[in-house]
Chain A
Amino acid sequence: MSSSEKICARVRASFSEFLEEDLAAEERREVEAHLAECAGCAESFARFREAIAVLGQLSRPEPPADLPDRIDRALDRLEPVSLPRARPAGRRRLVQHAVAAMLVGGIIVGIIRVVPEVGGPLPARQAASPESREALPAAKDEFAAMDRAIGPAAGALMGETAPAPAPTARSESAPAIEEKAAKAAPAYRENAEVARARDDDKRVAASTVTPHAAREMLKQAAPAAPAAKKPDVEEPSYYAPRDGEPGGARYARGLLLAARNHASWITAVRDLALSHPGDLASAWAGLDAETRKGILAVWSRAAPVPNLAADLARAGKEAGSPAEQAVIQIFADAIHPPAP
């Protein structure tokens, strides 16, 4: 190999470094000088550069379109007990909202009327303040235990025909409530099955929730417990109007506050997220940090929020809209609370 051939070989071998400007200044000048005088190497470099550019434009073989479905099915086999799948939105959503509204606004009043021993001022009953929680250390565990044991079933019920156990503070021991929850769970699951079947038949209606039915469910899941200590600080009513607060956001605010007391409310919140993500997002934004933390703490112990993302898509929300993003973020925070 002649000395000029050696230079050509060395220069060509450094094309990639030269292209990426990874050469030392001196080497770089050497290559530049050589390319200016050697037509062969200059042409070779031009081809090399073109080749690198064309690599980025190579055709991309299309995978089979059913690959995501196949992955889905493989996951089903992987986890025989999969999470509840989202059902199509539509009339069901309306019913759920009616139920949710009744739950927040009316049913519990009814329950309290027929079961006087769990009575008490409505706002105080529904929204046990953080202070009252502190006064009953076992209560937190109870909620967690209830959520674990009956969360999904209760959630399903919430969205369909019947109320979740009214979020009352209890003073029994955690093991006792665990046992009770375990006993209650099958009944709830059964009810959920029935409810789903009804839903499928499109015969379900908000009117199926009678005070009597609600009382029966309440008995099955959580027999009346001695009333909790009255909170020292009175919570604001869920429906207390706030200046300048539009109705939708106020409703969302009520649900969010309810969700702080029991994770099963999350289903109602989720439905609201689907129909009115903007309201939910602005209600969320209107809560103070402490309240948000309380809500997230309860949710994070609950069963995962199923299928929100897909539901949002199905509900026809513009993908990636600020409201949708905000709501997804709320639910994401609920599952993995952000570091303080």
Chain B
Amino acid sequence: MSRTEEEKIAPTVASRETAPVVVDQDGPLVRLACGGDREAFRRLVERHYRRVYHIARRMLGDPQAAEDIVQETFLAAFKHLPGFEARARFSTWITTIAMNRCRNHLRSAAVSRSAPLSADPPAPASASPEAQAGARELAVHLERALASLSPDQREVILLRDVEGLAYDAIAEALDIEAGTVKSRLHRAREAMRVLLEGVWSP
């Protein structure tokens, strides 16, 4: 599934500038799944598992742990679907579950001390070789800086700047006030800037 397509069906992952009001297209499927319809639930899984995996992978740094988080998240979601209130978006709710699982994982294991870094990421497409090399280098630094942040700072940058979630969706997913999201984001970005400055001006 392409990124754009995913944005279309996971409306909270929308462009941060526009943040359009989109009808939650998961609604009917969620209602079917609430009634025990496994195929409807399967469709929901197919719509969201990549995003959940991505979040878990970046939070934990470990592919295997991220896969486990995805499984746990959807199993928990299926179990608690009947209690799911439609006032929240399914995508936000899933993110909340995934985030809680990630936090528990980080708390229980000592992995938070040394979150492994992911391999060199490919550069964003459509750029000159020089710009590509530059962007790739920046991306590597960013990955490293992201992994060095505290989990609290990492999660807010991840949801806002990497995933592009709206502030209210982040507040719900992290179970904090909307105002707290902003102040945390500013602090986290500042911490990241300091880390990057070290690279930029040695």
Q: Which residues of A contact B (CB under 8 A)?
A: 12-13, 15-17, 20, 22, 44, 47-48, 50-52, 54-64, 67-68, 70-72, 74-75, 78, 82-83, 85-86, 304-311, 313, 320, 325, 328-329, 331-332, 335-336
B142-155 CB contact bits vs A (8 Å, 1 = yes)?
11001000000000
Residues A307 and B39 in contact in the complex (CB < 8 Å), given A20-B182, A61-B57 = yes
- In contact, A71 and B75 (Cβ under 8 angstroms): yes
Q: Within the assembled complex, what's the spacing in Å between the Cα atoms of A50 and B41? A: 39
Q: Are A61 and B36 in contact (CB under 8 A)?
A: no
Not counting A52-B189, A310-B40, a sample of 14 additional A-B residue pairs whose C-beta atoms are within 8 angstroms of each other reads A12-B193, A44-B193, A44-B200, A54-B138, A59-B121, A59-B122, A60-B3, A63-B57, A71-B49, A78-B79, A308-B39, A331-B32, A335-B37, A336-B34
The secondary-structure label for the interface of chain B is helix
**Across-interface contacts of B115 in A (CB, < 8 A):** none
Q: Which of B5-51 contact A (CB under 8 A)?
A: 25, 27-29, 31-32, 34-43, 45-46, 49-50
- Minimum CB–CB distance from A83 to chain B (whole Å) comes to 6
Give chain B's interface residue range (CB within 8 Å of chain A): 35 or more
Contact B40 A308 (CB under 8 A): yes
Residues of A contacting B135 with CB < 8 Å? 54
Given contact pairs A16-B189, A52-B189, A308 touches B75 in the complex (Cβ within 8 A): no
Report the bound CA distance from A328 to B71 in whole Å.
Answer: 26
Give the residue among A48, A63, A325 with the most B Cβ atoms within 10 A. A63
Shortest beta-carbon distance from A141 to chain B in Å: 21
> Which A residues lie within 8 Å of B25 (CB)?
320
Q: Is the CB of A335 within 8 A of B31?
A: yes
Give 29 A-B contacts (CB < 8 Å), ordered by A residue.
A13-B190, A20-B185, A47-B196, A48-B193, A51-B138, A51-B196, A57-B139, A60-B3, A62-B50, A63-B49, A63-B50, A63-B67, A64-B67, A68-B42, A71-B45, A71-B75, A72-B45, A83-B36, A83-B38, A304-B36, A306-B37, A306-B38, A308-B32, A309-B32, A310-B39, A311-B39, A328-B28, A328-B32, A329-B28
